[in-house]
A and B are shown apart, each in its own frame.
Chain A
Amino acid sequence: MKKIKCALIGSGNIGTDLIYKLQRSPLLEPVWMVGIDPESEGLARARDMGLKTTADGVDGLLPHVLADGIQIAFDATSAYVHAENSRKLNELGVMMIDLTPAAIGPLCVPPVNLKAHAEKVEMNVNMISCAGQATIPIVYAVSSVQPVGYGEIVASLASKSIGPGTRANLDEFTYTTSNAIEIVGGARKGKALAIINPADPPMMMRNTISCLTDDEPDQERITASVLAMIKEVQKYVPGYRLVNGPLFDGKRVTVFMEVAGLGDYLPKYAGNLDIMTAAATRTAEMFAEEILAGSIQLKSLEVA
């Protein structure tokens, strides 16, 4: 069966984990990995896994895009360079999946709004953040039952799973995630907190989601909605698990989740890495299905 060819930009934890996910996909094929350091471990690993590599950034990839038939690119670099990467690749008709906090395209949480983005043939979709992917489905599950005035999430992450880019830019993580709790999750106001825990052995990613509903929460319907949503996320992240809750406390609804990864590149505790790459892969697969079925056609964006 024909597969859609993909490029990975950024050779860190996320980019490397994506290689494993894409190589398993029935619809996607990772062909290129782009880095900026010829000595990087990530590029060496990509070569070992059969990918073509360049250490000249996105410019090193551009001459090969048409010849190699690249149609989807994943950007796991930084918010600062994403806009340029996206512009250059969109011009060549390549659809971008943005895993940086840049968020120049619409925010995507697969079980909430992926179908809508694919139908509109968005040329750039943003995957928010690991904490966003792990928590926004639950906020949405509550807000789709009744109005939520405030949604707050706390993500606890194993220190070993957090790369230098995220560490140096925690504010961007906070802003992007808080904003997405509102726009995608449906809370009128959103707040995101991140804690990096160095315990050894490393702790599994944990997420606590709290929502304040305008009226008394309908316990039965909210519980059913949350459980149904967890099943949806489990379709692409099998280690997404309810630990406690939903706990009802006046108008407050609290859900305690754990995310175990598949252990592809980093061990299972790095559920944060897994949920991000799995969501990005799921997103790309949805676009790939539509492209392969001929129901959507990617368009190169002409620059005026």
Chain B
Amino acid sequence: MIADINLKGRKVVIHDMSLRDGMHAKREQISVEQMVQIATALDAAGVPYIQVTHGAGLGGNSLQHGFAPHSNEDYISAVAGKMKQAKVSVLLIPGLGTMKELQSAYDAGARAVHVATHCTEADTSPQHIAFCRKLGMDTNGFLMMAHLNTAEGLAKQGKLMESYGANTVYITDSAGYMLPGDVKDRVAALRAVLNPETEIGFHGHHNMGMGIANSIAAIEAGATRIDTSVAGLGAGAGNTPTEVFVAVCERMGIVTGCDLFQLMDMAEDMIVPMMEHMVRVDRASLTLGFAGVYSTFLLHAKRAGERFGIPARDILVELGRKKMIGGQEDMIVDTAMTMAKERGLLKEIAV
């Protein structure tokens, strides 16, 4: 099916997530030195956008999402100062990050932003998107957990983000749930309603092993921006691996402007050695993809499972059933405790 469409000469902009989504896989523990080293290598390999913040973005430092060893501003300014061609980007989720934090990220050197909402709640982002545009930032509306909305629904939400000022709208497969056909339908529906100058992006997770295939499907349907991470360093089974994606693009004649061999070396020599666990499709991450659960929940569910004696897979399936979305990490411990009470592993407090 893929081979039917000739993508030769198509230009695609890579937005690297290793230093933002990758923070999730590292329990937010990446040092400023590591960030600078990795970002410098990405910059040298020709990657045009590099996202750098706490895994949950601006305002992410919290008990809910974990504390990074440094402030977002420290990471951004250290990396931005070393970039020769790449732009530094940040993530902002309204309800978590605020415009004050956006201003301070901009002052530290951030010039692009993913403004992220759940896929049905775009109307919580107008003030933030407008503010990013006012600052002159490359502004991407980022519709998370996109499998939970229809193609038509996403088209409406994307149109809202465009009306607030987003120059790109992303279909974000936060759960790594989608299959290529799901991605194509959604990107095509967006392409049909957005202004021609508004770009479309795709952000994948590899929980069902579909990161590359889904990204190519998105390009076929009109996407021009793809989020990736070197060696897939990201939440769940990781993001679409940058080096694999670039290799596939080269074979298909898609132009990324990135150096394949440099990225391969980075993956092998720099990223894999720093992984605390192998970021791959395993029992728990596959459960995320299969059940449609937010990828970031993975490590939280493993920890809560160990503490309360409930298998992580049971917790993840229950979170999927309750339709919990990105940002509700507190509900993981809550759900584990409730399940532990039901199974007689935890005593009910006498009220």
B58 to chain A, nearest CB (A): 12
- Interface size on A (CB < 8 Å)? 39
Question: 1/0 contact trace for B91-133 toward A, CB 8 Å?
Answer: 0001110111000000000000000001011011011100000
Q: Is B64 an interface residue (CB 8 A)?
A: yes
Residue of A193, A197, A206, A254 near B333 (CB, 8 A) is: A254
- Inter-chain contact A170/B94, CB cutoff 8 Å: yes
Note all chain A residues with C-beta closer than 8 A to B99. Answer: 171
Residue of B123, B128, B325, B337 near A256 (CB, 8 A) is: B337
Residue of A150, A156, A212 near B331 (CB, 8 A) is: A156
A254 to B121, CA, bound (A): 28
Question: 1/0 contact trace for B118-151 toward A, CB 8 Å?
Answer: 1011011011100000000000000000001000
Q: Is A121 an interface residue (CB 8 A)?
A: no
A246 to B64, CA, bound (A): 16
Q: A170-B124, A199-B323 are in contact. Are A191 and B337 (CB under 8 A)?
A: no
Closest to A210 in B: B63
- Inter-chain contact B120/A191, CB cutoff 8 Å: no
- Inter-chain contact B98/A167, CB cutoff 8 Å: no
Residue of A156, A191, A194, A246 near B62 (CB, 8 A) is: A191
A242 to B323, CA, bound (A): 21
Note all chain A residues with C-beta closer than 8 A to B126. Answer: 168
Note all chain A residues with C-beta closer than 8 A to B121. Answer: 159, 167, 196, 198
Q: Is B1 an interface residue (CB 8 A)?
A: no
Note all chain B residues with C-beta closer than 8 A to A246. Answer: 349
- Inter-chain contact B95/A197, CB cutoff 8 Å: no
Q: Is B338 an interface residue (CB 8 A)?
A: yes
Q: A152-B63, A227-B351 are in contact. Are A203 and B95 (CB under 8 A)?
A: no
The size class of the interface chain B forms with chain A is 20 to 34
A193 to B327, CA, bound (A): 9
Q: Is A126 an interface residue (CB 8 A)?
A: no
Q: Is B328 an interface residue (CB 8 A)?
A: yes
Q: A156-B331, A171-B98, A193-B96 are in contact. Are A164 and B324 (CB under 8 A)?
A: no
Q: A198-B120, A247-B333 are in contact. Are A174 and B98 (CB under 8 A)?
A: yes
Residue of A196, A208, A230, A242 near B330 (CB, 8 A) is: A208
B321 to chain A, nearest CB (A): 10
Residue of B100, B127, B333 near A169 (CB, 8 A) is: B127
Closest to B329 in A: A154
A152 to B56, CA, bound (A): 16
- Inter-chain contact A256/B95, CB cutoff 8 Å: no
A245 to B323, CA, bound (A): 22
A203 to B338, CA, bound (A): 16
Q: Which of A132-179 contact B (CB under 8 A)?
A: 150, 152, 154, 156, 159, 164, 167-171, 174-175
Note all chain B residues with C-beta closer than 8 A to A167. Answer: 121, 123-124
Note all chain B residues with C-beta closer than 8 A to A66. Answer: none
Question: 1/0 contact trace for A252-282 toward B, CB 8 Å?
Answer: 1010100000000000000000000000000
Note all chain A residues with C-beta closer than 8 A to B124. Answer: 167-168, 170, 196
Q: A206-B331, A244-B337 are in contact. Are A170 and B325 (CB under 8 A)?
A: no
Question: 1/0 contact trace for A74-91 toward B, CB 8 Å?
Answer: 000000000000000000
- Inter-chain contact B334/A195, CB cutoff 8 Å: no
A16 to chain B, nearest CB (A): 21
Question: 1/0 contact trace for A26-54 toward B, CB 8 Å?
Answer: 00000000000000000000000000000
Note all chain B residues with C-beta closer than 8 A to A194. Answer: 95-96
- Inter-chain contact A196/B95, CB cutoff 8 Å: yes
Q: Is A283 an interface residue (CB 8 A)?
A: no
Q: A195-B327, A223-B349, A252-B63 are in contact. Are A171 and B123 (CB under 8 A)?
A: no
- Inter-chain contact A193/B120, CB cutoff 8 Å: no
Q: Which of B249-281 contact A (CB under 8 A)?
A: none
Residue of A150, A168, A212 near B127 (CB, 8 A) is: A168
Q: Is A243 an interface residue (CB 8 A)?
A: yes
Q: A193-B96, A243-B338 are in contact. Are A168 and B330 (CB under 8 A)?
A: no
Note all chain B residues with C-beta closer than 8 A to A159. Answer: 120-121
A70 to chain B, nearest CB (A): 34
The 5 closest A-B pairs by CB, nearest first: A199-B323, A208-B330, A194-B95, A195-B327, A244-B337
A-B pairs with beta carbons under 8 Å apart, 15 shown: A150-B63, A152-B62, A167-B121, A168-B124, A170-B127, A171-B99, A195-B328, A198-B121, A199-B323, A203-B322, A206-B331, A210-B63, A245-B337, A247-B337, A256-B330
A191-B62, A197-B324 are known contacts; what are 19 more A-B pairs with Cβ within 8 Å?
Answer: A159-B121, A167-B121, A193-B62, A195-B325, A195-B326, A195-B327, A195-B328, A196-B118, A197-B118, A197-B323, A197-B325, A197-B328, A203-B322, A203-B323, A210-B64, A242-B351, A247-B333, A254-B333, A256-B337
